[in-house]
Amino acid sequence: MNDPRVSVLVYRVRHDETVNYDKASPLQCETARFKGSVNGSEAHFAMKENFATVDQALEVVWPFIRQWEFAVALDRGPGEFELVFLDAVVEDRKPTPGVVDVARQETVKVGDSFSPVLGRSSYPEPPTNVAVDADVEAMALHYSRYRKRKETLAAMAYFCLTVLERATGAPRGGQRRRLAMQDKFGIEVTVANTLGDLTSEKGGAEAARTTGVRTSSPQTSGLGSNRPQSA
């Protein structure tokens, strides 16, 4: 191609065996940088800007998709709605005269089989005002493990409480971090204290043994968080 432009990114709608979207109405969404649509088993993102490579376009769409998947996982549970990158439509803005060249760059497709249980009449709406950072990803991972019965409620709650306390930046000891949690996150001190009392023994011991209460570089899985890569 003489002057390639990525015009559309194509994703596959993925979900687990407990749900299907066979009868879901098409969904439209739009941001300043792309227009999105979900219909059937695919989602398309039409780019408003000019991107010469698929990687450049993916970097723009990825945060939007990650926030979408994250919000759905928290609201409905892991595996309810995820988008897996399939391929891209790349056009030539300066084609050779007499040559039509529109390439669809395909990546490896995931072939899942499903046994539908719960039919959804609509796709989940993209969220607003959702922020995802390393701490949120780490807590989401443990929540996902709990939902899949791979971790106890006490261990998951203890981990999340520890992350929130550390995120305040307040000195350790006493009620300083709990008070800081109230100021920063709006979590009442009484709620944090009760959670701490309920999880300090069983949750703390198990979290230390199974997770080490680590929050850096989380290996997120089960929440649709695998970062897409072009072929």
For 73-102, what is each residue's pLDDT tens digit? Answer: 888 888 889 999 999 999 887 766 654 454
Query: What value does the mean pLDDT take over residues 3-19?
Result: 89
Share of the chain above pLDDT 90, in %: 43
The span from the CA of 40 to the CA of 43, in Å, is 8
pLDDT at position 23 is 87
Residue 174 pLDDT greater than 50, yes or no: yes
Specify the 3-state DSSP secondary structure of 126.
Answer: coil
Query: What value does the mean pLDDT take over residues 198-215?
Result: 57
pTM above 0.75, yes or no: no
Measured between alpha carbons, how far is residue 30 from residues 17, 45, 190 in Å? 29, 9, 41
Tokens of 89: 């439509």
What is the average pLDDT value for the chain, to the nearest integer? 80
Tokens of 128: 């607003």
pLDDT at position 44 is 97
pLDDT at position 217 is 40
Query: What value does the mean pLDDT take over residues 119-130?
Result: 84
Backbone angles phi, psi at 133, to 5 degrees: -125, -170
Name the residue among 26, 47, 49 with its Cα closest to residue 38.
26
- pLDDT tens digits, one per residue of 175-199: 888 899 999 999 999 999 998 888 8
Specify the 3-state DSSP secondary structure of 134.
Answer: helix
Residue 163 pLDDT greater than 90, yes or no: yes
Query: What value does the mean pLDDT take over residues 57-67?
Result: 94
The span from the CA of 138 to the CA of 129, in Å, is 19
**By CB neighbour count within 10 A (0-12 exposed, 13-18 middle, 19+ buried), where does 96 fall?**
exposed
**By CB neighbour count within 10 A (0-12 exposed, 13-18 middle, 19+ buried), where does 91 fall?**
middle
Strand 118-119 and strand 19-20: pairing? parallel
Share of the chain above pLDDT 70, in %: 74
Please give the residue that has the higher pLDDT: either 34 or 104: 34
